[in-house]
Structure 1
Amino acid sequence: MDSQTRVFAAMLPAAARELDGNDRERGVQVRAVSRPSPSSRVRELQVTGTAEVCCPADRVSVRVSVGSSKESVNEVTNSVSRRLEYILQAVRQHGVSDKDAAVRRFLHREADQYHMNAEVAVTFSDFEKMERVCGVLLEKLDKSVCVGAPQFYHSAEYLSQMRRRACVSAVENAQQKACEVSQLLGQTLGAPLLVREEETREWRNEDGEDGGRLSHLPCTPTITMSSQVSVSFSLRDGSRKKL
């Protein structure tokens, strides 16, 4: 006897019924649900996977400032411009593009003196190159230039790339776990049925790896990203011969 269909009956709330003498008929919904046969059921293995990715800062910004005070606008402008040109030339010689060097100037007057202050904000992706440029500027311009402390940070593109990497690593870990479980059960792991990222977390670490022993050095921050995924795989009988 084929019993592939089951009938479910559910009572509606009283507020949804019409009190006209036909409550029993209108207060009951009947629906038929097909019940899959054992042969058509998909055997499924569900596993979770987690992964963490540690991301050190990939960018550093340094501000280099110069200033001068003269009795005329031309004198103060020439004094500052010469040093600005040297700074920009040193930056270019180390392979930094102009779009990564922003210049700001400010001219004002106090009594009979004209004052000009200028600043160059340079962004580096190569930290060693940043150290070389700062060394050259301090050596050549000495006290006429002020080199600020480097500011390390993470670019948006890099963070997005690391988030994807954490998720992919979590899926790889889940697949490895599923392979080992299916082998233990004498089954063959089939195609993935569902992949879902359940949780993502990020936290920042400003302490660095020196434990505070080199506190006079600028800190290079890191961000750790974690991802947890849930993956469902189909299972095939490992003893079944392939057609």
Structure 2
Amino acid sequence: MDNQSRVFAAVLPAAGRDFAGNVKEQGFEVRAVNCHSPTNRVREVQVTGTAEVCCPADRVSVRVSVGNSKESVTEVTNSVSRRLEYILQAFRQHGLSDNDTSVRRFLHREADQYYMDAEVVVTFSDFDKMEQVRSVLLEKLDKSVCVGTPQFYHSAESLSLMRRRACVSAVENAQQKASEVSQLLGQTLGSPLLVKEEETREWRNEDEENGGAAPIHHLPHTPTITASSRVSVSFSLRDRSRKNL
């Protein structure tokens, strides 16, 4: 009868031990399997690794609206159009293209008055530039324009990058642990046999602490999203005493 043996070893990480970049580690499992004959042994180390990556919002949109009422369509159109053109010109002077803005106009009549409302939504990737543009509009147009509160959000590209970084960091963590385990057992870490992402999670950090200070309600909140990944990786093990062929 063929002799088959299995050896399992589990080592737990020290409590509270973290890696740079907010990467956390989990336990690992070492398995040595002897199948059918002593000369056909399969040695492998199985490890799990986790990582968390935090991503702040990388886009912000601002809604700017103007409106007026006149006794004729021509007068109200000219009045609103002049301010609307000034707003769009301010955007262009700060390096924004027409692709970054969207414009809507709405004309209606009530009794003998014509009303026109116009709205511009502009998207920024540079938050400092956003503040500069808002300041210019509020200073130059004053009460004739309504500048909305900045709305921060994450682009699809930043979310995709965050997820990939979490997975890659988890694999790197697992590989580092597998290397340390192989050294501990007097083995040489071989090539990876299997990489499996077992769990992914994402959550929005809505209630971030403000350093213990009272929140400043006039400052817009910049949201962040955290992604976590847990992977399982198997590596082959080679005995250091064996010569490489």
Give the shorter-chain TM-score range: 0.7 to 0.9
TM-score by length of 2: 0.83
* Alignment partner, residue 119 of structure 2: 119
Structure 2 alignment gaps of length 5 or more? 5-34
**Is contact 1:102-1:120 (8 Å) kept?**
yes
Q: CA 1:137/1:2 → structure 2, altered by over 3 Å: closer, same or farther? A: closer
SS in 2 for 1:46: strand
* Alignment partner, residue 175 of structure 1: 175
Q: Deviations over 1:12-62 (max 9, x none)?
A: xxxxxxxxxxxxxxxxxxxxxxx6433223211000000000111111110
Identity of aligned pairs, percent? 83
Structure 1 alignment gaps of length 5 or more? 5-34
TM-score by length of 1: 0.83
* Alignment partner, residue 194 of structure 1: 194
* Alignment partner, residue 52 of structure 2: 52
| Structure whose alpha-carbon radius of gyration is higher | 1
The structural deviation recorded for 1:209 is 4.8
* Alignment partner, residue 109 of structure 1: 109
Residue pairs, 1:89-104, within 5 angstroms: 89-104=89-104
**Is contact 1:202-1:224 (8 Å) kept?**
yes
**Is contact 2:2-2:37 (8 Å) kept?**
no
* Alignment partner, residue 155 of structure 2: 155
Residue pairs, 1:12-161, within 5 angstroms: 36-161=36-161
The structural deviation recorded for 1:210 is 2.1
Distance of 2:132 and 2:113 partners within structure 1: 35
SS in 2 for 1:116: strand
Which amino acid in 2 is paired with 1:140? K
* Alignment partner, residue 241 of structure 2: 239
Higher percent of residues as helix: 1
Distance of 1:164 and 1:134 partners within structure 2: 35
The structural deviation recorded for 1:198 is 0.7
SS in 1 for 2:219: coil
Distance of 2:243 and 2:217 partners within structure 1: 65
**Is contact 1:70-1:76 (8 Å) kept?**
yes
CA RMSD of aligned residues (A): 1.8
Distance of 2:152 and 2:204 partners within structure 1: 13
**Is contact 1:202-1:225 (8 Å) kept?**
yes
Distance of 1:39 and 1:140 partners within structure 2: 84
Distance of 1:130 and 1:236 partners within structure 2: 57
Which amino acid in 1 is paired with 2:244? K
Distance of 1:2 and 1:133 partners within structure 2: 78
Q: Would you identify which runs of 4 or more consecutive aligned residues in structure 1 move more than 6 Å?
A: 1-4
SS in 2 for 1:178: helix
**Is contact 1:197-1:230 (8 Å) kept?**
yes
